[in-house]
Chains A and B, each alone.
Chain A
């Protein structure tokens, strides 16, 4: 398998004119990770190469034999949003709001929210031109995104993410945590800023050309003498709050969504609240509010033409 395969990917046509991140491509770095594995054991090396190809096919939404691409499968940019805000997000089109999905800077302008010094520090190091125009997301294969940020996982369409969109192989706030932060601890502010920028540059890639060669799965699952399953790959791509970060430089609205996903645990809890309403004991008020908001959110999404799906099988897609 040619690591520099330039065939069109599920994330859009590769953009050769896009600014390439400095340093090695993810394909090259992945190759360097696999090389010592092969050196230790030829068999493990062969499995590593075969599993690498499985990851690429899963990311691109291709079948196991790489012969066709499913239009709704593959890696997607997802953003989790609380169901409390989904009606306003969907209603933005009626209000002719140019930024239906809002980042902290949009909300800071509108409502006076405080922007933390931590975030300004990290955002200043991002490999993007204007950090106030960045809308962060995560890469997801089959799951319901990062639940910490909201119970509705908004899944952007394949063609709604430009091929030149920057991706980071981890949360950019890792810059502030040990051991990375220790590297700049004794530097002057100017040197620390430059060092952070170099570090983020080293983590960054492009959606179209690098995502298929993510090292995250190999690092998570490890070298084995077994073939990885799509479920394992899916879970490794986004594992709890360890995710591949997407730095989209434009807002998006309901028309950009492929679907919205809700987790099966939330769906079960929702149904239990409904059952308790009929049979008792009477649910608590916050449970009723939570359920009511989710119902309103789903109605708003479906009215906007966005299907809502429950993720019922962990890390596996349904054709």
Chain B
């Protein structure tokens, strides 16, 4: 259903949200003139939108929309003192869809629902923000810019259009250029940021959270392994990895006879449990990756749940709602970014935004490029790492799959800034300490 042709469209009529719940992704839209307060409803054309498809569905009874406001639905979307207007049902669907996705970056804050979330940071976490030692302005292949740079340029273009729009205008967004960009650097750096964050959240050798932390570490190790990234990470960032390994070994106080690489292999790619005497004995006689143990517990039935266990570094915490920064995860980052990519540039400084984009590229590859139907052996570089051209091709393919999927999820349409703010603010909707939709 669409609005009548413009030649017969009553003046001031547009699609307006009669009743909506952005976190639930449910909305009734009616085609009518602006009404901030009303006493009489008419039999306006009415459409209903719901997840996961957000396909418009004609509704005969507007009373059903009004009754919805007795629960979690809001009545009327007021933006800058005016009732928001949408020219077409497609615009309504896009707004509701993006707000629904945005709201997921606050999931877990008002009830865990059985999902664990990432391991929390230590209360007195003394760490400085970790950034890998590489030159962020190093020369790039101009024929094929990096994924991070391509995303940054596309977002800057989005922000320009957003700031130049006045409600009820909307604009189409083109993300096609990121599909042709080079994902390799973003994949390795994104993985490195997550390695650093997880190692930094080591809860202590006698903590009750130790096994859970180890499961999450091995989940990340499995992701990196399946993407074929370990050799490349060692090749390009071995100094950073050694730095991180050494910091953790000092805190852990066990397995101190291992070299850094063996220590990281034990953490990320083995199944051994962290009993120092047993591991030391095993170290003398067995390759660690063959040692049986509890194994990883990757939640591969649901990639979002898996990403929900990987913690978001503090430098990117502005991408998460303020009441959930301690439990913010890569899942929260991914959904928040997809819903409102412009927020990354406005809320983070240049260095943090580059690093965050790398993590987004890594997360996208984890969702779209991992073959989760089969178990795999961890693929860890036991000797001097080497990356053949064929291996590099496989990594690029995985990254490209992730970027293609990401480009498909990013906004089809953008809106003027006040509506974009409402999309971003959907992440703050709660059920027990709710904020207005």
CA distance A81 to B70 in the complex (A): 12
Residue of A nearest to B109 (CB): A88
Complex contacts, B40 vs chain A, CB 8 Å: 176, 181, 185
- From A46-54, A101-109, A156-164, A206-214, the one touching the partner chain is A101-109
Please tell me which one of the listed residues B64, B107, B409 contacts residue A285 in the complex, with CB atoms under 8 A apart.
B409
A88 near B70 with CB under 8 A, answer: no
B76 near A114 with CB under 8 A, answer: yes
How far is the CB of A264 from the nearest CB of chain B, in Å?
16
A102 near B72 with CB under 8 A, answer: yes
A119-B51 contact given A84-B103, A88-B110, CB 8 Å threshold: no
Among A81, A103, A293, A295, max chain B CB count under 10 A is at A293
Residue of B nearest to A107 (CB): B434
Task: State which residues 42-76 of B face A: CB under 8 Å.
Answer: 42-43, 48, 50-52, 54, 59, 61-64, 66-76
A291-B302 contact given A113-B436, A114-B78, A273-B52, CB 8 Å threshold: yes
Residue of A nearest to B106 (CB): A84
Task: State which residues 227-259 of B face A: CB under 8 Å.
Answer: none
Complex contacts, A134 vs chain B, CB 8 Å: 70
A241-B61 contact given A87-B111, A97-B432, A300-B114, CB 8 Å threshold: yes
A274 within 8 A of B: yes
Please tell me which one of the listed residues B28, B52, B75, B334 contacts residue A290 in the complex, with CB atoms under 8 A apart.
B52
A292-B71 contact given A113-B434, A148-B26, A282-B367, CB 8 Å threshold: no
A176 near B63 with CB under 8 A, answer: yes
Number of contacts between A and B (CB, 8 Å)? Answer: 221
CA distance A146 to B59 in the complex (A): 13
Residue of A nearest to B331 (CB): A292
- From B17-25, B137-145, B178-186, B272-280, the one touching the partner chain is B17-25
B123 within 8 A of A: no
A84 near B107 with CB under 8 A, answer: yes
B68 near A148 with CB under 8 A, answer: yes
How far is the CB of A269 from the nearest CB of chain B, in Å?
7
Task: State which residues 231-288 of A face B: CB under 8 Å.
Answer: 241-242, 269, 273-274, 277-279, 282, 284-288
Interface of A is mostly: helix
A82 within 8 A of B: yes
Residue of A nearest to B369 (CB): A282
B304 within 8 A of A: yes
B432 near A287 with CB under 8 A, answer: no
B114 near A177 with CB under 8 A, answer: no
CA distance A300 to B108 in the complex (A): 12
B68 near A111 with CB under 8 A, answer: no
CA distance A134 to B302 in the complex (A): 38
A contact residues, range = 35 or more
A241 near B432 with CB under 8 A, answer: no
CA distance A84 to B38 in the complex (A): 30
B contact residues, range = 35 or more
Please tell me which one of the listed residues B72, B302, B405 contacts residue A82 in the complex, with CB atoms under 8 A apart.
B72
A91 within 8 A of B: yes
B408 within 8 A of A: yes
Among A113, A288, A290, A291, max chain B CB count under 10 A is at A288
A278-B373 contact given A82-B24, A291-B302, A296-B115, CB 8 Å threshold: yes
Residue of A nearest to B401 (CB): A282
B59 near A241 with CB under 8 A, answer: yes
Complex contacts, B409 vs chain A, CB 8 Å: 284-285
Complex contacts, A107 vs chain B, CB 8 Å: 72, 431, 434
A290-B25 contact given A118-B75, A119-B66, CB 8 Å threshold: yes
Complex contacts, A274 vs chain B, CB 8 Å: 301
B437 within 8 A of A: yes
Please tell me which one of the listed residues B24, B73, B101, B372 contacts residue A286 in the complex, with CB atoms under 8 A apart.
B101
How far is the CB of B35 from the nearest CB of chain A, in Å?
10
A147 within 8 A of B: yes
Please tell me which one of the listed residues A119, A136, A176 contacts residue B75 in the complex, with CB atoms under 8 A apart.
A119
How far is the CB of A280 from the nearest CB of chain B, in Å?
9
Complex contacts, B408 vs chain A, CB 8 Å: 284
CA distance A87 to B366 in the complex (A): 26
Task: State which residues 93-121 of B face A: CB under 8 Å.
Answer: 97, 100-101, 103-104, 107-108, 110-115
Residue of A nearest to B428 (CB): A111
B25 near A149 with CB under 8 A, answer: no
Residue of B nearest to A296 (CB): B113
A286 near B76 with CB under 8 A, answer: no
Among B41, B54, B70, max chain A CB count under 10 A is at B70
A-B contact pairs, 17 of them (CB 8 A): A91-B113, A102-B431, A104-B72, A110-B432, A111-B435, A114-B76, A116-B69, A118-B66, A241-B63, A242-B61, A277-B303, A279-B373, A282-B405, A286-B51, A289-B304, A292-B302, A295-B302
Known: A114-B74, A148-B68. 15 other contacts (CB 8 A): A81-B72, A82-B23, A85-B24, A87-B113, A102-B432, A104-B71, A107-B431, A110-B432, A111-B435, A113-B74, A114-B75, A119-B66, A136-B70, A148-B64, A171-B61
